[in-house]
Chains A and B, each alone.
Chain A
């Protein structure tokens, strides 16, 4: 759709292809406005109406009037908002102009794109619509959301954006011609979570233990006092627990991880379905953790830090909710194909469950047992060619991996007691998220040396890191490889045969020339202007 009325659109960039959201958007949004209006109405006037001593028919009429009125107002507002909203795809950016009273123009550079989510809330899913969310690294709230599009439009748009972000040239339609669709990158499913595993993981979770303790305490209290008062008293807390479990269950239901040249594709959701795409090189840190009871089954949870999700995001940070050690290795292979060591599986196992100096881990010194009674042999780090691995937690095991090129900054801290024991805590600063990579109570000299060397390693890794356009990086010789190039890539994939997805994915003609572009312009640092 062309929109000649948009000012400056032509001046900013070569032709931007302006489009509108789907016509159904006002209807799907209207009910939200209506619910709010009706809620306010009920809240304010419920008592008044009750006191007025009216006939039942009249009250019914008032309520119906409120519902219809609220819906109409909601529909009107949503329709106006829809008319004022349009989005555009430029050569290397996405634009969104929106807002009724306060106009907003948001502009996201595709080479700064962190993830693309196609999600379908229940209502939209029933009618075959979807929303598209583009995360850039500006922190929580910096995303660009296109809601709603038809399901096929959303998928086509995602494919096109990912192809453009990857540096593959996308064919554009001539004027008047039907739009050329970008084919989806081929997907290969790696793992799928069974409902049984999901239920089991929830049943053995830490919250469940708390609940069991709570229930036992309540029963004891109820029997002791011969009344149900204690049980009624914790009603809200019980509702909270149910809501938590329902959130986990419906959010992680049908969890599937697939790989494609566009990156990792994660699908999940019982009622609201989500399909996230995480392009290569967007994962800032990885955490593999195991609550106490999961040890019975040998399950682990894999989480990641991604710039743009922010610390509040909990569902988006999960890369796999509950996997066996072998499944964890397969998921990890997708994110960090080269662990930078020639015994990757042994290294991984030691990091997940081991203690002591096996596989070159450096642990807290013996004197730190004053502070870490049971964990001092488990606390430890290991530096490989590609990443730093941090191990901690004896009861609740944690294992954090940070690729060298993703380190933002480094820090050391020391409190008064630690100073007496000559111990120092080492921190890696990652983008905001669920993972805060740090290691407690290292020997002071070891920590200082680690700080100096890690700063140097991170710098070298950054210099060698591939450009943001990942498909271009692959065709350019030497690009994208890190210092770990000497170790045979794919050794870690003893489990998983290393596929070469590039073969399936036919890039556009222009990328055949394999131009390596390094996008570094200071103006990009802001990423989002709007």
Chain B
């Protein structure tokens, strides 16, 4: 592998949590807006429940049986710790931008993705929030097009921003509505 490539890779995947770090996912003149950092505790809490919970439960047979049974809780706890460490980076990696005709969304740290969704292609908008997210006053806005492939969801928007974005998207969608 060429040395230059490796150096660029090291720089890109360095300390930046995803934002502004990868030229492939940068578009000239686009100002990416970050999402609310309150999504970090929301995701960490649910990860703790769904991963940490089973880890704690499996400690009991490990204590009783001992030996290799400890692999299960220890493994689960390690995964939990890794996920808890990953979540802040993932949340910081999410960005969106409202252009004149399209909504841009990008996300991902290890597996990156970027989507361009034209307002005119929008069929409907969903705003949803789970119990923990509601307490933190954040919500997820999701655009649906006629394609199942377009994953156009923006998690972790403040409630006001989510409502504003929803109305904005609906208005722009109506103005530019196209058929199929």
Q: Give chain B residues whose Cβ lies under 8 Å from the Cβ of A465.
A: 178-179
Q: Does A436 contact B (CB under 8 A)?
A: yes
B110 and chain A: residue at smallest CB distance: A416
CB pair B149 A522 closer than 8 Å: no
Whether A411 touches B114, Cβ cut-off 8 Å, given contacts A429-B145, A431-B146, is yes
CB pair B24 A413 closer than 8 Å: no
Contact of A137 (CB < 8 Å), options: B6, B27, B180 = B180
A518 and chain B: residue at smallest CB distance: B179
Once bound together, how far apart are the Cα atoms of A413 and B113, in whole Å?
A: 4
B145 and chain A: residue at smallest CB distance: A408
Q: Does A56 contact B (CB under 8 A)?
A: no
Once bound together, how far apart are the Cα atoms of A99 and B159, in whole Å?
A: 42
CB pair B152 A409 closer than 8 Å: yes
A306 and chain B: residue at smallest CB distance: B180
Contact of A408 (CB < 8 Å), options: B5, B27, B110, B147 = B147
CB pair B27 A452 closer than 8 Å: yes
Q: Give chain A residues whose Cβ lies under 8 Å from the Cβ of B124.
A: 525
CB pair B147 A419 closer than 8 Å: no
A437 and chain B: residue at smallest CB distance: B149
Chain A interface residue count, CB cutoff 8 Å, equals 45
Per-residue B-contact encoding for A421-465, CB less than 8 Å = 1, 0 else: 110100101111000100000001101100110010011001001
CB pair B146 A408 closer than 8 Å: yes
Q: Does B121 contact A (CB under 8 A)?
A: yes
Q: Which of B121-173 contact A (CB under 8 A)?
A: 121, 123-124, 145-152, 173
A442 and chain B: residue at smallest CB distance: B24
In angstroms, how far is the closest chain A Cβ from the Cβ of B39?
A: 22
Q: Which of A159-174 contact B (CB under 8 A)?
A: none
Once bound together, how far apart are the Cα atoms of A525 and B180, in whole Å?
A: 10
B99 and chain A: residue at smallest CB distance: A455
Q: Which of B9-42 contact A (CB under 8 A)?
A: 9, 12-13, 22-27
Contact of A455 (CB < 8 Å), options: B111, B116, B147, B177 = B116
Q: Which of A457-480 contact B (CB under 8 A)?
A: 458-459, 462, 465, 468
Q: Does B53 contact A (CB under 8 A)?
A: no
CB pair A451 B114 closer than 8 Å: yes
Contact of A468 (CB < 8 Å), options: B102, B148, B179 = B179
A310 and chain B: residue at smallest CB distance: B148
Once bound together, how far apart are the Cα atoms of A415 and B112, in whole Å?
A: 6
CB pair B115 A455 closer than 8 Å: no
Contact of A415 (CB < 8 Å), options: B5, B110, B120 = B110
B117 and chain A: residue at smallest CB distance: A409
CB pair B145 A409 closer than 8 Å: yes
Q: Which of A123-169 contact B (CB under 8 A)?
A: 137
Q: Give chain B residues whose Cβ lies under 8 Å from the Cβ of A458.
A: 118
Q: Does A330 contact B (CB under 8 A)?
A: no
Q: Which of A67-126 contact B (CB under 8 A)?
A: 112, 114
CB pair A419 B178 closer than 8 Å: no
Q: Give chain A residues whose Cβ lies under 8 Å from the Cβ of B120.
A: 459, 462
CB pair A408 B116 closer than 8 Å: no
Interface centre among A311, A367, A409, A427 (most CB of B within 10 A): A409
B5 and chain A: residue at smallest CB distance: A422
CB pair B9 A419 closer than 8 Å: yes
CB pair B178 A462 closer than 8 Å: yes
Whether A429 touches B118, Cβ cut-off 8 Å, given contacts A413-B113, A416-B111, A459-B101, is no
Whether A412 touches B24, Cβ cut-off 8 Å, given contacts A307-B146, A455-B116, is yes
A422 and chain B: residue at smallest CB distance: B5
CB pair B113 A412 closer than 8 Å: yes
Q: Give chain A residues whose Cβ lies under 8 Å from the Cβ of B152.
A: 409
CB pair B112 A410 closer than 8 Å: no
Once bound together, how far apart are the Cα atoms of A311 and B146, in whole Å?
A: 13
Contact of B180 (CB < 8 Å), options: A307, A413, A427, A522 = A307
Contact of B118 (CB < 8 Å), options: A420, A444, A455 = A455
Contact of B23 (CB < 8 Å), options: A284, A409, A420, A444 = A444
Q: Give chain A residues whose Cβ lies under 8 Å from the Cβ of B146.
A: 137, 307, 408, 431
CB pair A406 B180 closer than 8 Å: yes
Q: Give chain A residues whose Cβ lies under 8 Å from the Cβ of B6.
A: 420
In angstroms, how far is the closest chain A Cβ from the Cβ of B32?
A: 14
In angstroms, how far is the closest chain B Cβ from the Cβ of A265?
A: 21
Once bound together, how far apart are the Cα atoms of A436 and B147, in whole Å?
A: 10
CB pair A420 B121 closer than 8 Å: no
Q: Does A511 contact B (CB under 8 A)?
A: no
Per-residue A-contact encoding for B43-82, CB less than 8 Å = 1, 0 else: 0000000000000000000000000000000000000000
Known contacts A409-B115, A455-B102, then 4 further A-B pairs from the complex at CB < 8 Å, ordered by chain A residue: A411-B151, A414-B24, A420-B6, A465-B178
6 A-B pairs in the complex with CB atoms less than 8 angstroms apart? A409-B150, A413-B111, A416-B110, A419-B13, A458-B118, A468-B179
The 10 tightest CB contacts between A and B, nearest first, are: A444-B24, A429-B147, A429-B149, A408-B147, A409-B150, A429-B150, A409-B117, A411-B115, A413-B113, A410-B116
Q: Give residues in A with beta carbon < 8 Å to B.
A: 112, 114, 137, 282, 284, 307, 311, 367, 406, 408-416, 419-422, 424, 427, 429-432, 436, 444-445, 447-448, 451-452, 455, 458-459, 462, 465, 468, 519-520, 522, 525
